[in-house]
């Protein structure tokens, strides 16, 4: 884990994450996200070598809602 940030405003979060060195951000291999589109945008802008994974909780919630 390299950061815990409050809020969902893309510009603010991107600005904070970009303060972390490129070499450290390049070490991030995967990111677990909820289903919010904004979080995917943030991840793509700040982490170039990642695999995005939707968290198990969110997948289960969507499946239960579908039932």
pLDDT tens digits, one per residue of 25-54: 999 998 887 777 888 899 889 998 888 887
Tens digit of each residue's pLDDT (9 = 90 or more) over 3-25: 888 888 899 999 999 999 999 99
- 17-29: string of b/e by CB count within 10 Å (b at 16+)? beeeeeeebeebe
pTM of structure:
0.71
**Sign of the CA dihedral 9, 17, 1, 36?**
positive
Q: Is 57 exposed, middle or buried (0-12, 13-18, 19+ CB in 10 A)?
A: exposed
On whether the CB atoms of residues 27 and 49 are closer than 8 A, the answer is no
């Amino acid at each position: 884990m390299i950061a815990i940030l409050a809020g969902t405003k893309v510009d603010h979060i991107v600005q904070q994450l970009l303060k972390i060195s490129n070499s450290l951000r390049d070490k991030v291999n995967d990111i677990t996200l909820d289903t919010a589109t904004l979080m995917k945008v943030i991840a793509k802008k700040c982490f170039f070598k990642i695999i995005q994974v939707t968290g198990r909780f969110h997948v289960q919630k969507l499946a239960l809602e579908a039932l």
